[in-house]
Protein backbone atom coordinates (compact mmCIF):
# COMPACT_ATOMS: atom_id res chain seq x y z
CA UNK A 1 0.00 0.00 0.00
CA UNK A 2 2.89 2.34 0.73
CA UNK A 3 4.37 1.78 -2.79
CA UNK A 4 1.01 2.60 -4.46
CA UNK A 5 0.66 5.78 -2.42
CA UNK A 6 4.20 6.79 -3.35
CA UNK A 7 3.54 6.27 -7.11
CA UNK A 8 0.29 8.24 -6.88
CA UNK A 9 2.14 11.07 -5.13
CA UNK A 10 4.78 11.15 -7.87
CA UNK A 11 2.17 11.25 -10.64
CA UNK A 12 0.35 14.08 -8.89
CA UNK A 13 3.59 16.01 -8.57
CA UNK A 14 4.36 15.50 -12.26
CA UNK A 15 0.91 16.74 -13.25
CA UNK A 16 1.50 19.88 -11.26
CA UNK A 17 4.92 20.34 -12.92
CA UNK A 18 3.41 19.81 -16.38
CA UNK A 19 0.73 22.38 -15.68
CA UNK A 20 3.53 24.74 -14.77
CA UNK A 21 5.52 23.83 -17.90
CA UNK A 22 8.44 22.24 -15.96
CA UNK A 23 8.07 18.79 -17.65
CA UNK A 24 7.00 18.25 -21.22
CA UNK A 25 4.34 15.79 -22.32
CA UNK A 26 6.78 13.54 -24.24
CA UNK A 27 8.93 13.12 -21.12
CA UNK A 28 5.85 12.29 -19.11
CA UNK A 29 4.80 9.72 -21.73
CA UNK A 30 8.23 8.06 -21.47
CA UNK A 31 7.90 7.92 -17.71
CA UNK A 32 4.47 6.26 -17.97
CA UNK A 33 5.84 3.66 -20.46
CA UNK A 34 8.93 2.87 -18.44
CA UNK A 35 9.12 -0.74 -17.17
CA UNK A 36 8.30 -1.38 -13.52
CA UNK A 37 11.12 -1.21 -11.01
CA UNK A 38 12.97 -4.47 -10.34
CA UNK A 39 12.22 -5.53 -6.81
CA UNK A 40 14.50 -8.62 -6.72
CA UNK A 41 18.08 -8.27 -5.51
CA UNK A 42 20.77 -8.28 -8.21
CA UNK A 43 22.71 -11.48 -8.67
CA UNK A 44 25.81 -11.73 -6.53
CA UNK A 45 28.96 -11.30 -8.58
CA UNK A 46 31.18 -14.40 -8.81
CA UNK A 47 34.43 -14.13 -6.86
CA UNK A 48 37.58 -13.75 -8.97
CA UNK A 49 39.42 -16.90 -9.96
CA UNK A 50 42.17 -17.84 -7.51
CA UNK A 51 45.29 -19.97 -7.99
CA UNK A 52 43.45 -22.90 -6.42
CA UNK A 53 40.74 -22.68 -9.08
CA UNK A 54 43.21 -22.74 -11.97
CA UNK A 55 43.64 -26.04 -13.77
CA UNK A 56 47.09 -27.56 -13.47
CA UNK A 57 48.66 -27.40 -16.95
CA UNK A 58 51.45 -29.82 -16.05
CA UNK A 59 54.14 -27.18 -16.64
CA UNK A 60 56.59 -25.96 -14.00
CA UNK A 61 58.10 -22.47 -14.31
CA UNK A 62 61.81 -22.81 -13.54
CA UNK A 63 62.57 -19.09 -13.93
CA UNK A 64 60.97 -16.04 -15.50
CA UNK A 65 62.09 -12.49 -16.12
CA UNK A 66 60.64 -9.20 -15.05
CA UNK A 67 59.18 -7.18 -17.97
CA UNK A 68 61.91 -5.63 -20.14
CA UNK A 69 60.65 -2.10 -20.92
CA UNK A 70 61.86 0.32 -23.61
CA UNK A 71 62.41 3.81 -22.14
CA UNK A 72 63.03 5.67 -25.43
CA UNK A 73 62.67 5.01 -29.15
CA UNK A 74 66.23 3.94 -29.88
CA UNK A 75 68.48 0.88 -29.58
CA UNK A 76 68.90 -0.27 -25.98
CA UNK A 77 70.82 -3.12 -24.38
CA UNK A 78 69.29 -5.23 -21.60
CA UNK A 79 71.38 -7.71 -19.57
CA UNK A 80 69.88 -10.57 -17.58
CA UNK A 81 71.02 -13.88 -16.06
CA UNK A 82 69.48 -17.35 -16.23
CA UNK A 83 70.13 -19.20 -12.96
CA UNK A 84 69.92 -22.99 -13.11
CA UNK A 85 70.06 -25.25 -10.04
CA UNK A 86 71.67 -28.67 -9.77
CA UNK A 87 69.33 -31.20 -11.36
CA UNK A 88 67.63 -28.63 -13.57
CA UNK A 89 70.54 -28.69 -16.03
CA UNK A 90 69.65 -32.23 -17.16
CA UNK A 91 65.86 -31.76 -17.17
CA UNK A 92 63.85 -30.96 -20.33
CA UNK A 93 63.84 -27.15 -20.57
CA UNK A 94 61.89 -24.84 -22.87
CA UNK A 95 62.57 -21.10 -23.18
CA UNK A 96 59.77 -18.82 -24.38
CA UNK A 97 60.17 -15.14 -25.35
CA UNK A 98 57.09 -12.91 -25.53
CA UNK A 99 57.45 -9.70 -27.54
CA UNK A 100 54.83 -7.28 -26.25
CA UNK A 101 51.63 -8.25 -24.48
CA UNK A 102 47.87 -7.74 -24.65
CA UNK A 103 48.33 -4.23 -23.26
CA UNK A 104 51.84 -3.21 -24.42
CA UNK A 105 53.58 -2.67 -27.76
CA UNK A 106 56.24 -5.04 -29.12
CA UNK A 107 59.83 -4.24 -30.02
CA UNK A 108 60.41 -3.77 -33.75
CA UNK A 109 63.94 -5.21 -33.96
CA UNK A 110 66.14 -7.22 -31.61
CA UNK A 111 69.19 -9.42 -31.20
CA UNK A 112 69.13 -12.02 -28.42
CA UNK A 113 72.45 -13.52 -27.27
CA UNK A 114 73.07 -16.26 -24.72
CA UNK A 115 76.61 -16.57 -23.33
CA UNK A 116 77.89 -14.64 -26.34
CA UNK A 117 76.06 -16.78 -28.91
CA UNK A 118 73.16 -15.57 -31.03
CA UNK A 119 69.81 -17.10 -30.07
CA UNK A 120 67.56 -15.21 -32.46
CA UNK A 121 66.19 -11.97 -33.88
CA UNK A 122 62.75 -10.54 -34.61
CA UNK A 123 62.63 -12.88 -37.63
CA UNK A 124 62.44 -15.92 -35.34
CA UNK A 125 59.23 -14.72 -33.67
CA UNK A 126 55.84 -16.05 -34.75
CA UNK A 127 52.83 -14.08 -33.52
CA UNK A 128 55.18 -12.24 -31.15
CA UNK A 129 56.40 -15.51 -29.56
CA UNK A 130 59.70 -17.38 -29.90
CA UNK A 131 60.00 -20.87 -28.38
CA UNK A 132 63.33 -22.68 -28.04
CA UNK A 133 64.36 -26.10 -26.73
CA UNK A 134 67.07 -25.44 -24.11
CA UNK A 135 67.54 -29.01 -22.86
CA UNK A 136 71.23 -29.52 -22.11
CA UNK A 137 72.09 -25.97 -23.20
CA UNK A 138 72.26 -24.42 -19.72
CA UNK A 139 74.79 -25.30 -17.06
CA UNK A 140 74.41 -25.04 -13.30
CA UNK A 141 74.78 -21.44 -12.14
CA UNK A 142 74.26 -18.15 -13.96
CA UNK A 143 74.31 -17.78 -17.75
CA UNK A 144 74.35 -14.26 -19.21
CA UNK A 145 71.52 -13.22 -21.52
CA UNK A 146 71.91 -10.00 -23.56
CA UNK A 147 69.02 -8.47 -25.51
CA UNK A 148 69.69 -5.55 -27.89
CA UNK A 149 66.34 -4.15 -28.95
CA UNK A 150 64.76 -1.23 -30.82
CA UNK A 151 61.19 -0.09 -30.54
CA UNK A 152 58.74 2.57 -29.37
CA UNK A 153 58.81 3.86 -25.83
CA UNK A 154 56.88 1.52 -23.57
CA UNK A 155 57.50 -1.59 -25.68
CA UNK A 156 57.96 -4.70 -23.52
CA UNK A 157 59.46 -8.16 -23.71
CA UNK A 158 59.71 -11.05 -21.24
CA UNK A 159 61.10 -14.57 -21.14
CA UNK A 160 60.29 -17.74 -19.23
CA UNK A 161 61.96 -21.13 -18.77
CA UNK A 162 59.68 -24.10 -18.11
CA UNK A 163 59.92 -27.86 -17.66
CA UNK A 164 57.21 -30.55 -17.59
CA UNK A 165 56.09 -31.44 -14.06
CA UNK A 166 56.83 -34.96 -12.89
CA UNK A 167 54.14 -37.06 -11.28
CA UNK A 168 54.03 -40.53 -9.76
CA UNK A 169 50.82 -42.53 -10.21
CA UNK A 170 51.81 -45.92 -8.78
CA UNK A 171 54.56 -47.97 -7.17
CA UNK A 172 54.64 -51.78 -7.40
CA UNK A 173 54.91 -54.14 -5.66
CA UNK A 174 53.57 -52.61 -2.46
CA UNK A 175 55.64 -54.84 -0.12
CA UNK A 176 59.33 -55.42 -0.79
CA UNK A 177 62.58 -56.33 0.91
CA UNK A 178 65.91 -54.52 0.67
CA UNK A 179 67.61 -54.99 -2.75
CA UNK A 180 64.28 -55.91 -4.38
CA UNK A 181 63.28 -54.06 -7.55
CA UNK A 182 60.25 -51.78 -7.70
CA UNK A 183 58.56 -50.15 -10.68
CA UNK A 184 57.50 -46.50 -10.45
CA UNK A 185 54.92 -45.39 -13.03
CA UNK A 186 54.27 -41.72 -13.79
CA UNK A 187 55.20 -39.14 -16.40
CA UNK A 188 57.92 -36.69 -17.44
CA UNK A 189 60.82 -38.68 -15.98
CA UNK A 190 64.13 -37.64 -17.49
CA UNK A 191 67.89 -37.82 -17.04
CA UNK A 192 68.85 -36.44 -13.65
CA UNK A 193 65.83 -37.87 -11.82
CA UNK A 194 66.45 -38.98 -8.23
CA UNK A 195 64.49 -41.51 -6.17
CA UNK A 196 64.33 -41.52 -2.39
CA UNK A 197 62.84 -44.37 -0.33
CA UNK A 198 62.44 -43.34 3.27
CA UNK A 199 65.67 -41.56 4.16
CA UNK A 200 67.80 -43.44 1.63
CA UNK A 201 68.58 -42.71 -2.02
CA UNK A 202 67.77 -45.59 -4.37
CA UNK A 203 69.63 -46.72 -7.48
CA UNK A 204 67.75 -46.25 -10.76
CA UNK A 205 68.22 -49.35 -12.92
CA UNK A 206 66.16 -48.22 -15.91
CA UNK A 207 64.73 -44.83 -16.84
CA UNK A 208 61.90 -44.17 -19.30
CA UNK A 209 59.69 -41.05 -19.63
CA UNK A 210 56.78 -42.86 -17.96
CA UNK A 211 58.50 -45.54 -15.89
CA UNK A 212 61.42 -46.08 -13.52
CA UNK A 213 62.93 -49.39 -12.40
CA UNK A 214 64.55 -48.88 -8.99
CA UNK A 215 66.53 -51.04 -6.56
CA UNK A 216 65.47 -50.77 -2.92
CA UNK A 217 68.46 -49.64 -0.80
CA UNK A 218 70.07 -52.31 1.36
CA UNK A 219 70.03 -50.09 4.46
CA UNK A 220 66.48 -48.78 4.23
CA UNK A 221 64.48 -48.98 7.44
CA UNK A 222 61.61 -51.43 7.70
CA UNK A 223 57.94 -50.54 7.86
CA UNK A 224 55.95 -47.92 5.95
CA UNK A 225 58.20 -45.66 3.85
CA UNK A 226 57.51 -42.93 1.30
CA UNK A 227 58.78 -43.10 -2.27
CA UNK A 228 59.55 -39.65 -3.73
CA UNK A 229 60.93 -38.79 -7.17
CA UNK A 230 62.85 -35.52 -7.57
CA UNK A 231 63.24 -33.89 -10.99
CA UNK A 232 64.66 -30.41 -11.63
CA UNK A 233 64.83 -29.81 -7.84
CA UNK A 234 61.07 -30.39 -7.53
CA UNK A 235 59.66 -33.36 -5.60
CA UNK A 236 56.70 -35.51 -6.59
CA UNK A 237 53.88 -36.33 -4.22
CA UNK A 238 54.91 -39.33 -2.05
CA UNK A 239 53.69 -42.88 -2.57
CA UNK A 240 53.72 -45.37 0.29
CA UNK A 241 55.71 -48.59 0.28
CA UNK A 242 56.07 -51.30 2.93
CA UNK A 243 59.66 -52.42 3.52
CA UNK A 244 60.14 -55.89 4.92
CA UNK A 245 63.61 -55.12 6.25
CA UNK A 246 65.51 -57.36 8.64
CA UNK A 247 65.25 -55.95 12.17
CA UNK A 248 68.27 -55.25 14.34
CA UNK A 249 68.38 -56.26 18.03
CA UNK A 250 70.84 -54.14 20.01
CA UNK A 251 69.94 -54.47 23.68
CA UNK A 252 67.84 -55.90 26.51
CA UNK A 253 66.76 -54.30 29.78
CA UNK A 254 67.43 -57.43 31.89
CA UNK A 255 70.58 -59.56 32.13
CA UNK A 256 69.08 -62.38 34.18
CA UNK A 257 65.50 -63.50 34.89
CA UNK A 258 63.34 -66.65 35.24
CA UNK A 259 60.70 -67.90 32.78
CA UNK A 260 57.49 -65.85 32.87
CA UNK A 261 59.39 -62.61 33.57
CA UNK A 262 58.75 -59.68 31.15
CA UNK A 263 61.76 -58.18 29.38
CA UNK A 264 62.14 -55.38 26.82
CA UNK A 265 64.30 -55.67 23.72
CA UNK A 266 65.65 -52.56 21.99
CA UNK A 267 66.75 -52.09 18.39
CA UNK A 268 65.23 -50.94 15.13
CA UNK A 269 63.16 -52.17 12.22
CA UNK A 270 60.49 -53.79 14.40
CA UNK A 271 56.84 -53.65 13.43
CA UNK A 272 54.52 -51.67 15.69
CA UNK A 273 52.02 -54.51 15.19
CA UNK A 274 53.01 -57.00 17.88
CA UNK A 275 51.96 -60.07 15.89
CA UNK A 276 54.35 -59.14 13.05
CA UNK A 277 57.31 -59.78 15.39
CA UNK A 278 58.44 -63.29 16.37
CA UNK A 279 60.89 -63.49 19.29
CA UNK A 280 62.70 -66.70 20.22
CA UNK A 281 64.85 -67.72 23.19
CA UNK A 282 67.26 -70.44 21.97
CA UNK A 283 64.64 -71.22 19.32
CA UNK A 284 61.63 -71.29 21.69
CA UNK A 285 58.96 -68.70 20.76
CA UNK A 286 58.09 -66.07 23.36
CA UNK A 287 54.84 -64.15 23.87
CA UNK A 288 55.08 -60.60 22.45
CA UNK A 289 52.93 -58.23 24.50
CA UNK A 290 53.63 -54.93 22.73
CA UNK A 291 55.92 -53.44 20.10
CA UNK A 292 57.14 -50.24 18.48
CA UNK A 293 59.67 -49.63 15.68
CA UNK A 294 62.47 -49.52 18.30
CA UNK A 295 61.36 -51.84 21.14
CA UNK A 296 59.56 -55.11 21.82
CA UNK A 297 58.11 -56.28 25.16
CA UNK A 298 58.09 -60.09 25.60
CA UNK A 299 57.56 -62.74 28.26
CA UNK A 300 60.42 -65.20 28.74
CA UNK A 301 59.02 -68.60 27.62
CA UNK A 302 58.90 -71.69 29.81
CA UNK A 303 62.30 -73.19 29.17
CA UNK A 304 64.60 -75.23 31.39
CA UNK A 305 66.76 -73.17 33.73
CA UNK A 306 69.27 -72.23 34.87
CA UNK A 307 70.71 -71.57 31.41
CA UNK A 308 73.44 -69.14 30.57
CA UNK A 309 73.85 -67.13 27.37
CA UNK A 310 70.39 -67.88 26.01
CA UNK A 311 70.27 -66.32 22.51
CA UNK A 312 67.35 -64.03 21.71
CA UNK A 313 66.51 -63.40 18.05
CA UNK A 314 63.75 -61.45 16.34
CA UNK A 315 61.97 -62.04 13.04
CA UNK A 316 59.84 -59.17 11.69
CA UNK A 317 57.57 -59.58 8.65
CA UNK A 318 59.42 -62.77 7.80
CA UNK A 319 62.87 -61.13 7.97
CA UNK A 320 65.18 -62.48 10.69
CA UNK A 321 67.65 -60.28 12.55
CA UNK A 322 71.30 -60.92 11.78
CA UNK A 323 72.28 -59.90 15.29
CA UNK A 324 71.02 -61.05 18.69
CA UNK A 325 71.30 -60.45 22.44
CA UNK A 326 71.77 -62.92 25.27
CA UNK A 327 70.20 -63.45 28.70
CA UNK A 328 70.87 -65.77 31.61
CA UNK A 329 67.67 -67.64 32.45
CA UNK A 330 67.75 -68.26 36.22
CA UNK A 331 65.78 -67.46 39.34
CA UNK A 332 67.67 -64.26 40.09
CA UNK A 333 66.52 -61.07 38.33
CA UNK A 334 69.34 -58.72 37.34
CA UNK A 335 68.49 -55.50 35.52
CA UNK A 336 70.77 -54.30 32.75
CA UNK A 337 72.10 -50.97 33.94
CA UNK A 338 75.14 -50.84 31.66
CA UNK A 339 76.20 -51.98 28.23
CA UNK A 340 73.84 -54.61 26.78
CA UNK A 341 75.26 -58.11 26.87
CA UNK A 342 75.52 -59.63 23.40
- For the chain, the average pLDDT equals 84
End-to-end CA distance of the chain: 99
Q: Where are the alpha helices (DSSP H) in the chain?
A: 2-19, 25-33
pLDDT in the model for residue 1: 46
The pLDDT confidence band at residue 192, using thresholds 50, 70 and 90, is: confident
Same fold, 59-164 and 167-243: no
> Which stretch of 26-40, 107-121, 216-230, 259-273 has the lowest confidence by average pLDDT?
26-40
Mean pLDDT across 91-108: 95
DSSP 8-state symbol, 258: -
pLDDT at 338 over 70: no
309: nearest Cα among 331, 325, 286, 288: 325
d(CA 24, CA 245): 97
pLDDT in the model for residue 293: 87
In the chain, where the domains are located:
2-33, 59-164, 167-243, 248-335
Supply the pTM of this predicted model. 0.60
Per CATH, is 59-164 categorized as 3.30.420.40? no
Mean pLDDT across 61-81: 95
* CATH architecture for segment(s) 248-335: Sandwich (2.60)
pLDDT tens per residue, range 300-313: 999 999 999 999 99
pLDDT at 198 over 80: yes
Fold of 167-243: Immunoglobulin-like (2.60.40)
Who has greater pLDDT, 280 or 269? 280
Q: What is the DSSP string of 81-97?
A: EEEE-TTTTTS--EEEE
pLDDT in the model for residue 18: 44
d(CA 212, CA 180): 14
d(CA 186, CA 207): 11
261: nearest Cα among 329, 311, 314, 310: 329
Q: CA Rg, the chain, in Å?
A: 38
Amino acid sequence: MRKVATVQSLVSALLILISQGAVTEPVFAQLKQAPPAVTTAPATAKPPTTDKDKKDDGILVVQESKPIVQTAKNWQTFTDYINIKQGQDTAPLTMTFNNGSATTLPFESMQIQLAGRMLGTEKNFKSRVMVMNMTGALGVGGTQLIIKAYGPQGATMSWQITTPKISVTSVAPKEVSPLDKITIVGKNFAKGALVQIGKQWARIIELKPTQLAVEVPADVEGGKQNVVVTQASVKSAPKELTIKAAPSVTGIDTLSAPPGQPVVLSGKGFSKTASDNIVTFNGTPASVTSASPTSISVIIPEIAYPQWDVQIKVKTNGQESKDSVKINVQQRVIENAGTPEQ
